[in-house]
Amino acid sequence: MKNNNIPSYILAIILSIIFIYPLYILILIAFEPISLTFDRLYPYQLPFDFTLANFESSIKDLSLITPVLRSIVVAFIVSILAIVLSTSAGYGLNKLSSRFSNKIIVLMFFANMLPAIVIAIPISVYFIKLGLYDNVLGIALAQELVVLPISAFIMLGGFRSLPRDLENQANIDGAGMISTFRYVIMPLIKVPLTITFLLAWMTSWDEFTYAIIISPLAPTFPVSLYDYVSRGEPFISASFALIVTIPVILIVVFLQKYLKGEYLTGGMKA
Amino acid sequence: MTYKMELINLKKSYNNVKVLKNLNLTVNDGEFLVILGPSGEGKSTLLRTIVGIESLDGGKVTVGGKDVTNKPPNKRNIAMVFQNYALYPNMTVYENIAFPLKMERIGKDKIKAKVNEVTKLLKIEDILNKNVTKLSGGQKQRVAIARALVRDPALFLLDEPLSNLDARVRYTSRQELKRLQKELNYTFIYVTHDQLEASNLADRVAVLHNGVIEQIGKYNELYEKPATKWIGDFIGTYPMNFIDGGILDYAGKTIGFRPPWTKNGNDIKAEVNLIENSEGNYYVHGNVNGNSIVIRTTEKYSIGDEISFNLTKFNIYNNGILEDVKLTEYYKNENL
């Protein structure tokens, strides 16, 4: 480590503390007796006691398991759909001149400029007719609205960063469109693909507005968590939230190895 | 198998700028043809239309007598090496070279045999399992050529394949390319702006200018008898000198001569304004009636001296087009 790197390290540590602090509070609430957290006007910032009582009562209360499973299903539908749609959108947009494709991307973001509630209510009216109300697929389709523009944007960026001659070369080497895509392009867009997947998955995982309006009776996890908090049981939901954070962390850790971008143009430089 | 290629009346424009204007070119089978031209003349565009990744506005491309104008690139059986090699970064050297064969759905054993044969030819057997991103420039170039060779293409297109290499590697690669082409007897079309490459490699050189092939022939022919003033200016380490024809009784026309085509004498006079020393000769820059010229001499001059000389031979240009080639009375003496 060089000396001139020390300020960067200090900054990185400060940043991490800021980002980790909420998680720390969550852990504190989950493992401390209520007497030290919610019952105090100024809760302690350091752990003085340890209890598993909150965990016991949250695990006993199995009514949260179904919403969690539902949320997982919805998140996977949203993210897989996002990958399929945004890959084709990005690939197609990349063939247009950038003046056109930039405008189309801006148009796609238009739905996100309105408050979600403005769109969710009319959608729910149609979804009742279509049988998508109170339905996993219904939530997923509505959440896709939030996820798709940014996904398409990321994928377009990914395709733009590919050297164009690579596709030409594959063509010349005898590959048709499908083979080119499968053997040459797909392996090179793993990074944006992973980012798209992660972003879509996590956005769906804690999306609230569409979920509560489209599917109030078959709620996703954030919606039922909210129910618990409003019923006055925040410590149970805190410990449960901690449990269900674990799969999210696992997914991020597992996909992290794809999140590096330096090899993309390697073969093209002399 | 080698094939002859014909380009007939190729037309191509970008945003109303005509890049190719009724371009015609015939490449014989087994020939090493170099397309030479300065940057921005559409050399790469020409190759791209031949291989099919760029569409044509008009004209016809035939390979081995068959019209391939409307075929997609993967059905043309033309191989191309890009300037940046366009190796697939996600594959190893072996996978890169095997890729065209894999696309032809050839059996694994056969692919292996063919790849081995080609890699032996290019002396890259020992890097087969390396990732292509870890190779040196020269190695990348060999891999790109191996990938083009492996599929037995009807035609070989190379887009400035040596321009990304450093001088020493470029020299050896050049020799090797030439040897490969002659050994395997493939038809090569090679694009470059480098005259040295053109003169070393080419059986024939085609000069691309203003969207047409302005002249085609052996490099020496282009040097001695440039068909236009523009080519005379473009070909050669020093451009051809052009002076007013009136000086030698060709009023209204232009006289063109190369720096070595001179001899001591009194026909033409010039004032020296720059001297360059190059491998035992002096290249003396001067001015004749407002036209700057360069002549080669073994005598030493200094700036401000008056130099006078005769021509041993010269070309006559009328409106920029070659009209006649003259040998003067001093020419014989020169050769003694």
Q: Is residue A56 part of a domain?
A: no
Domain match, A138 and A172 both:
yes
Lowest mean pLDDT among A205-209, A233-237, B269-273: A233-237
Q: Is residue A230 part of a domain?
A: no
Q: Which domain holds residue A156?
A: 67-221
Q: Is residue A267 part of a domain?
A: no
Distance from C-alpha of B99 to C-alpha of B111, rounded to nearest angstrom: 9
State whether the Cα torsion A37-A40-A45-A49 is positive or negative.
negative
Domain match, A10 and A130 both:
no
CA distance A183 to chain B (A): 9
Q: Is residue A35 part of a domain?
A: yes
Q: Which CATH class is domain B238-335?
A: mainly beta
Domain match, A210 and A100 both:
yes
Domain match, A15 and A117 both:
no
Which residues of chain B from 209 to 248 reach within 8 Å of chain A, CB to CB?
none
Domain match, A83 and A143 both:
yes
> What pLDDT, in 10s, does the model give residues A47-57?
878 888 877 87
DSSP letter for each residue of chain A: --GGGHHHHHHHHHHHHHHHHHHHHHHHHHHS-GGGTTTSSS--SS------HHHHHHHH-GGGHHHHHHHHHHHHHHHHHHHHHHHHHHHHHHHS-HHHHHHHHHHHTHHHHS-HHHHHHHHHHHHHHHT-TT-HHHHHHHHHHHHHHHHHHHHHHHHHTS-HHHHHHHHHTT--HHHIIIIIIHHHTHHHHHHHHHHHHHHHHT--HHHHHH-SSS--HHHHHHHHHHTT-HHHHHHHHHHHHHHHHHHHHHHGGG---TTTTGGG--
A chain contacts of residue B51, beta-carbon cutoff 8 Å: 172
Whether B100 shows a pLDDT value over 50: the answer reads: yes
- Total domains in the fold of chain A: 2
CATH code, residues B5-229:
3.40.50.300
CA distance B197 to chain A (A): 19
Closest B-chain CA to A187:
B90
| Contact by Cβ (8 Å): B104, B95 | no
Identify which has the larger pLDDT, B279 or B90: B90
| Contact by Cβ (8 Å): B305, B297 | no
Q: Is residue A270 part of a domain?
A: no
> What pLDDT, in 10s, does the model give residues B28-44?
988 999 999 998 888 98
Domain match, A103 and A195 both:
yes
Whether A3 shows a pLDDT value over 70: the answer reads: no
**Nearest-CB residue to B100 (from A166, A174, A269):** A174
Q: Is residue A241 part of a domain?
A: no
Domain match, A90 and A165 both:
yes
A chain contacts of residue B165, beta-carbon cutoff 8 Å: 270
The predicted pLDDT at position A260 comes to: 59
Task: Cite the beta strand spans of B28-129 per DSSP E.
Answer: 32-36, 58-63, 66-67, 78-81
Q: Tell which residue, B165, B217, B214, has the closest CA to residue B194.
A: B165
A chain contacts of residue B85, beta-carbon cutoff 8 Å: 267-268, 270
The predicted pLDDT at position B166 comes to: 84
| Contact by Cβ (8 Å): A224, A61 | no
Q: Tell me which residues of chain A have a C-beta less than 8 Å from any C-beta of chain B.
A: 163, 165-166, 168-176, 179, 183-184, 187-188, 263-270
Q: Is residue A29 part of a domain?
A: yes
Domain match, A88 and A181 both:
yes
Q: Which pair of structure tokens corresponds to residue B170? A: 């470029």
Q: How confident is the model at residue B225 (pLDDT cuts 50, 70, 90)?
A: very high
Domain match, A35 and A73 both:
no
Q: Is residue A15 part of a domain?
A: yes
Delimiting residues of CATH 3.40.50.300 domain(s) in chain B: 5-229
Domain match, A123 and A156 both:
yes
Domain match, A195 and A160 both:
yes
Question: Cβ separation of B137 and A270 shorter than 8 Å?
Answer: yes
Of A178, A203, A221, the one marking the end of a domain is A221
Question: Cβ separation of A172 and B151 shorter than 8 Å?
Answer: no
Lowest mean pLDDT among A107-116, A210-219, B97-106: A107-116
B74 and A CB contact within 8 Å = yes
Domain match, A152 and A39 both:
no
The predicted pLDDT at position A22 comes to: 85
Q: What is the pTM of this model?
A: 0.77
Which residues, including other chains, have CB under 8 Å from residue B58's CB and lie 6 or more apart? Answer: B9, B10, B11
Model ipTM over 0.95: no
Q: How confident is the model at residue A266 (pLDDT cuts 50, 70, 90)?
A: very low
Q: How many residue pairs from chains A and B have C-beta atoms closer than 8 A?
A: 85
